[in-house]
Amino acid sequence: MPIKGYTWSDEYRERFYSSDAVKDHMAKFVALASQNKPESQRIKMSQAKVGRKYTEQHKTNMSEAQKFRQALKKEITETNPGLPSEQVWAMVREQSEAQR
């Protein structure tokens, strides 16, 4: 199937994301998205997930991924006992990405 629409080259993507306007926009978006959500929005998000069905394969995959992340976390905290939680999870994410 042919690709429809625009395709970005790596060079164009790098130029685009290095633009000051794009950096400012992304910073504002991240700041807005990381704010606490109002209770009404939390209720709506919760209701959207009620009754969601997962296949057995999906449940198994989620379970295995969770076990893998927790094992990585335990390993990292044992080797670096004084490391803050944020850094531990950053290392877990980094190692999980490397495993893919």
Distance CA 72, CA 68 (A): 6
- Residue 53 main-chain phi, psi, to 5 deg: -105, 135
Q: What is the number of domains present in the chain? A: 2
Q: How far apart are CA 89 and CA 42, in angstroms?
A: 24
Domain that holds residue 43: 8-48
Residue 98 has a pLDDT of 84
Q: Are residues 100 and 60 in the same domain?
A: yes
Instruction: Tell whether 42 and 63 lie within a shared domain.
Output: no
Reported as a single tens digit per residue, the pLDDT across 4-43 is 788 889 999 999 999 999 999 999 999 999 999 999 999 9
The model's pLDDT over 54-77, given as tens digits with 9 standing for 90+, comes to 999 999 999 999 999 999 999 999
Task: Give the pLDDT confidence score for residue 20 in this predicted structure.
Answer: 96
Q: Identify whether residues 67 and 92 lie together within a single domain.
A: yes
Q: What is the pLDDT of residue 1?
A: 61
Q: Residue 2: is its pLDDT beyond 80?
A: no
